[in-house]
Amino acid sequence: MSSPKASRRDFLKLTSAGVAGTALGVTSSSYARITGANDRVRVAICGVRGRGNDHIHGFSRVPGTEIAALCDVDENVSNHRLADIEKLGLPKPKSYVDVRKLLEDKDIDAISIAAPNHWHALMAIWACQAGKDVYVESRARITGLKGDNWCVP
């Protein structure tokens, strides 16, 4: 996919590869060619200390994707990641400490969950209820209840 225009299906395909560590070789200059809200996916990254930092770098390389927000309970970590994003030459995202407030933001299209494992299911369910697309790397079935809740239609 060489165009910065991506459907949501293309976004999900690219994200699974891009965030997992595949370098797509796209620079931040691709953001300058984005012309409208429907031409990009505005993603929020929840939990930015460890794996979430990898998500920042992965999503920054996905065409048609904008890192619109970061969410972490530790504001010092969030501030450090905001500075890292600025060094990458990307627009400064919003910052949240409470994922529930982030999910109220109508400008967010999708969330990437990199918070501690015990938050994965709850954040994913809340995000789906809020109408957001969700990217999460998790063992979905640690207990029967947790796995069953993820599959609610």
Percent of the chain with pLDDT over 90: 53
The pair of three-digit structure tokens given for residue 10, joined into one six-digit string: 């293309």
Look at residue 26 and tell me whether its pLDDT is greater than 70.
no
- Is residue 22 a part of any domain in this protein? yes
Look at residue 151 and tell me whether its pLDDT is greater than 90.
no
Average pLDDT of the chain, as a whole number? 80
Q: What is the CA angle 23-24-26, rounded to 5?
A: 120
Look at residue 143 and tell me whether its pLDDT is greater than 60.
no
Domain around 102: 8-150
34-84 pLDDT, tens digit per residue, is 455 567 899 999 999 988 999 999 999 999 999 999 999 999 999 999 999
- Is residue 2 a part of any domain in this protein? no
Percent of the chain with pLDDT over 70: 69
Residue 86 neighbours by CB distance under 10 Å: 12
What is d(CA 123, CA 6) in angstroms, rounded to the nearest whole number? 25
- Is residue 144 a part of any domain in this protein? yes
Task: Identify the DSSP state of 30.
Answer: G
- Is residue 3 a part of any domain in this protein? no
- Is residue 1 a part of any domain in this protein? no
Based on the structure, what is the number of domains in the chain? 1
Q: What is the CA angle 34-35-40, rounded to 5?
A: 55
CATH number at residue 22: 3.40.50.720
- Is residue 102 a part of any domain in this protein? yes
Q: What is the CA angle 9-23-108, rounded to 5?
A: 45
